[in-house]
Structure 1
Amino acid sequence: MSTALPEYYFRVRENGAAVFKIDTENRQRRIEMDQIAVINIRNGEVKPQGQSALTDADKAEIARWMEERRALLSRRDMDDIHRAVDHLNLTTQWAQSKATDEQLEEITDRLLMAMHDLRSVLVRKKSDRFTKD
């Protein structure tokens, strides 16, 4: 286990993170976290906090973190989609072999609408890709 602390800490929020600079160089040798910015991962906005003026090193570290975070979120999105395909297959098996009439009545309309919506989007997107090529 490493004893060195990172220079920055990113507290993940819904659309980004709060950025803290870590300081251990004080008289009490306590870990102090000074918030220097709030970032929005969706639009790339970086807002300095308080009296903080971001240095080039701060900006570079924030940009690096945002790039890594976007890549992670993208991988998670694809994993979620692969899981959704698995869930659709499991749902099909359940509907065919285990579901009662009452259970099917409860979910059929909602599931058919969601599947119809998904199919419409997928067909349109596939058509767009064909016409683009």
Structure 2
Amino acid sequence: MPDLPEYYFRIRDTGAAVFRVDSENRHRRIEMEHIAVVNTNRGDFKPQGDRILTDADIAAIEDWLSARAKVLKQRTLDDIHRAIDHLNLTAQWAQSKASDAELDDITDPLLLAMHDLRSVLVRKKADRMVTKNDR
């Protein structure tokens, strides 16, 4: 049997369930013991039930939390770059292919979303410029 990791993290919407993996038992089966729950939004974790986590458990969870935060940050940036592409594709569609009925359906919600985004970006850019000038 190939070497398995000591821990398995089952991804959930807000984090993960953490399992300790055991493949060195007398039945030669893979057993997974649920040891903790991780919340990536808060950056914390809790032992499962009355379980007491070992130093190795805590270190593995903290390492996973750190790596997961980096992955989620990169995915967010990738999603934003895709959103830019989608905006460009939407502009092309609206200009060349959209029917009047389709434009009626999407114009107001799209304009409001774009106005909201523009307001946030302009405000954040102004804040950065003020901060930069204060240095």
Superposed pair shares fold, TM > 0.5:
yes
| 2:43 is the alignment partner of 1:48 | no
What's the counterpart of residue 130 of structure 2? 131
Distance 1:120 1:88 in 2: 17
Which 10-residue stretch deviates more, 65-74 or 44-53? 44-53
What's the counterpart of residue 25 of structure 1? 24
RMSD: 1.0
Identify unmatched segments of 5+ residues in structure 2. Answer: none
TM-score for both structures, normalised by structure 2: 0.95
TM-score for both structures, normalised by structure 1: 0.96
Query: Secondary structure of the equivalent of 2:16?
Result: strand
Would you say how many aligned residue pairs link Structure 1 and Structure 2? 132
Q: How does 1:1-133 map to 2 (within 5 A)?
A: 3-133=2-132
**CA shift for structure 1 position 35:** 0.4
**CA shift for structure 1 position 52:** 1.6
Q: How big is each residue's C-alpha offset from its partner over 1:32-55, in whole Å with a ceiling of 9 and x where there is no partner?
A: 100000010111221101232111
Q: How big is each residue's C-alpha offset from its partner over 1:53-86, in whole Å with a ceiling of 9 and x where there is no partner?
A: 1111111110100111000000100000000000
Distance 1:51 1:108 in 2: 54
Distance 2:24 2:123 in 1: 58
Distance 1:50 1:108 in 2: 51
Equivalent position amino acid for 1:119 in 2: R
Equivalent position amino acid for 2:4 in 1: L
